[in-house]
Structure 1
Amino acid sequence: MAPSAPVLSGRQPVPFGARLAEAMAEHGPVCVGIDPHPALLRAWGLGDDVEGLRRFSLGVVEALGGRVAALKPQSAFFERHGSAGVAVLEEVLAAAAAAGTLTVLDVKRGDIGSTMAGYADAYLRDGSSLAADAVTLSPYLGFGSLRPALDLARQTGRGIFVLALTSNPEGASIQHALDGGVAVAARIAEGAAVENAAVEHPTVEHAPLEHPTVESPAAAAAGDPAPTDVASTDAAARLGSVGLVVGATTGSAVADLGIDLTRMGGAILAPGVGAQGAGARELAEVFGPARRQVLASTSRAVLAAGPEAASLRSALAATVDQAREALQG
């Protein structure tokens, strides 16, 4: 069972990427979101209040803890209930850790300097009541603005998922934009590749990102091979602890923008599986040769089966079977 708190190996914590790879091998490439929005609370016969929030969220952990690669609480649905809701989030993180299940806290924070360091301290520091195994972050103040979180995550054996390609239509105006002929999302992927390579090859640590070597759309069209000298492409054997968020419903964007996800080396958190429309065909189209790096994220497809634990587990099993066939077949 993959522990939620990093376990020390000698003097160093076991990296998140290694723990996630183990959990995916054991339980399948699926992460279940804990998204207690009002409609789901009503569907479970619960009130849209702190008690309903607690019963829903801890019920998911009780039913799925120890049976799923990771759980992904969405912080916004806890924060909307104020300090009492945040206290429930702390309970959820503690319960998942006790069950031996990895947590990805979906906070999508992004800031600079001491403020980014404050977020890192909240979500990535050993001993913090809000510390998760990994967090989602937004790089759109520049990938380098994430440095405090990247450094603390490495020190504590935790992980980072950086937003790269999202499925909302507004995202394309920024993520698909070209900077010197290279898509912004491709530069983000290169930033993650450099971070992961720095762990295995310390001499490339913090390599400059101003002119990353990525496969541009023009090179892809010409059939030029993507370089592979920074990050390992053996994704099935090893995962870096800095991953990307790439929506499972983004179609051909990865290929169109010339992004080499295998070179990035980390896990790919893929929202949109199940109720949002992404099935086996869509996963194959979006991720291609990087499929084995994908941690498929689902929420409603599993949570709508509740509140009975047996029903939640059955829905999870069906989702895992589908994800394995699409991603690991």
Structure 2
Amino acid sequence: MTHVDDGEHPPPATPERFGLRLHRALAEHGPLCVGIDPHRELLDAWGLPDSPDGLREFCAIVLAAATGRCAAVKPQSAFFERHGSAGVAVLEELLGQARRRGLLTILDAKRGDIGSTMQGYAQAYLGPGAPLSADALTLSPYLGYEALRPAVDLARDAGRGAFVLVRTSNPEAAQVQSVGRPSVAARVLAGVGHDNRGQEPCGDIGVVVGATVDLADEQLGLAEALAPVLAPGVGAQGADEHDVARSFAAVRGRVLVPVSRAVLGAGPAGVEAEVGRWAERLATALGRD
């Protein structure tokens, strides 16, 4: 049956690209991304029970501290999943509340699979109207970058994004990611760059590159890929805002810096002030538009 446009029900508008929304959020709030990692020891330090109710209270405090002070939040799915369905329900609530507060959400789940299974993950975390849908999802490419195609394509169609592991900050990563010339990391980056062609000033498909990584030594040229960069490793892992500025000056305006332990360690009474301090430190180091 042919659809006839009667003028009263126009077709749905094409969603705005994730890369454009991220670029705008970074320009407005700077590069800080607050990690939301409610592990058992942290909940205990905050005086909260290690339960779904404890998760819920923790998330409410962190969201209030982050609102208006940073570009995005990054919940780590594992710390919610460990509480079973009740914990996943809290994650669902968190994603919805962050959206209503105007915060971009990067769900750190590092999914990676093939075929219909990858499609299922994509539908769960990136599909329009999905209960656990986030603005972007972290993806692992180690079954081959093209195996991520269902998630990459759905993200783009839905106005969402993805961050693909390229060169991570953990010491063990070099055993896989730095192998070969061009390295595995460089080949994954090339795939991301291909998917971002024509998406100036910021593509929808990003990369995860640790702030502790020597990009020159790894021969990783990020600027040409138009990729937003998620740069972990700042704070507890040893990097600081000056390392971020040195490593990512060429992609200034596309860098999102997750900070978790260095912010959350301030406790419920100090987390808001610590968010503000890290936001200022990172914005100053990278320069202001």
Q: Structure 2 residue aligned with 1:269, among 211, 214, 230? A: 230
Secondary structure of 2:228's counterpart equals strand
Q: Structure 1 residue aligned with 2:280, among 314, 318, 321? A: 321
Secondary structure of 1:71's counterpart equals strand
Residues 175-199 of structure 1 show CA distances to partners (whole Å, capped at 9, x for unaligned) of: 0011xx31110111111111110x5
TM-score (norm 1): 0.81
Where do 1:15-164 residues align within 5 Å? 15-164=17-166
Residues 202-244 of structure 1 show CA distances to partners (whole Å, capped at 9, x for unaligned) of: xxxxxxxxxxxxxxxxxxxxxxxxxxxxxx6xxxxx2111110
8 Å CA contact 1:283, 1:291 repeated in 2: no
8 Å CA contact 1:292, 1:328 repeated in 2: no
Give the C-alpha shift of residue 10 in structure 1. Answer: 7.6
Give the C-alpha shift of residue 162 in structure 1. Answer: 0.2
Q: Does 1:249 align with 2:218?
A: no
8 Å CA contact 1:17, 1:240 repeated in 2: yes
Q: What's the counterpart of residue 239 of structure 2?
A: 278
Q: Tell me which amino acid in the other structure corresponds to 2:262.
A: A
Residues 34-57 of structure 1 show CA distances to partners (whole Å, capped at 9, x for unaligned) of: 000111101110111111111111
Q: Tell me which amino acid in the other structure corresponds to 1:145.
A: A
8 Å CA contact 1:294, 1:327 repeated in 2: no
Moved >3 Å (runs of 4+): none
Q: What's the counterpart of residue 193 of structure 1?
A: 193
Instruction: Structure 1: state its 5+ residue gaps.
Output: 1-8, 201-231, 233-237
Q: Tell me which amino acid in the other structure corresponds to 2:174.
A: A
8 Å CA contact 1:108, 1:135 repeated in 2: yes
8 Å CA contact 1:106, 1:136 repeated in 2: yes
Give the C-alpha shift of residue 91 in structure 1. Answer: 0.6
Residues 101-123 of structure 1 show CA distances to partners (whole Å, capped at 9, x for unaligned) of: 11000000000000000000000
Q: What's the counterpart of residue 217 of structure 1?
A: none
Instruction: Structure 2: state its 5+ residue gaps.
Output: 1-10
Secondary structure of 1:266's counterpart equals coil
Between the aligned partners of 1:10 and 1:320, the Cα distance in structure 2 is: 36
Highest relative contact order (Cα 8 Å, sep 6+), 1 or 2? 2
Residues 294-317 of structure 1 show CA distances to partners (whole Å, capped at 9, x for unaligned) of: 111101111122313xx3221111
Q: Tell me which amino acid in the other structure corresponds to 1:293.
A: R
Q: What's the counterpart of residue 6 of structure 1?
A: none
8 Å CA contact 1:167, 1:249 repeated in 2: yes
Give the C-alpha shift of residue 273 in structure 1. Answer: 1.3
Give the C-alpha shift of residue 59 in structure 1. Answer: 1.8
- Cα RMSD of the aligned pairs, angstroms, is 1.6
TM-score (norm 2): 0.92
Percentage of identical aligned residues: 54
Residues 53-76 of structure 1 show CA distances to partners (whole Å, capped at 9, x for unaligned) of: 111112211232233200100000
Between the aligned partners of 1:102 and 1:281, the Cα distance in structure 2 is: 25
8 Å CA contact 2:26, 2:71 repeated in 1: yes
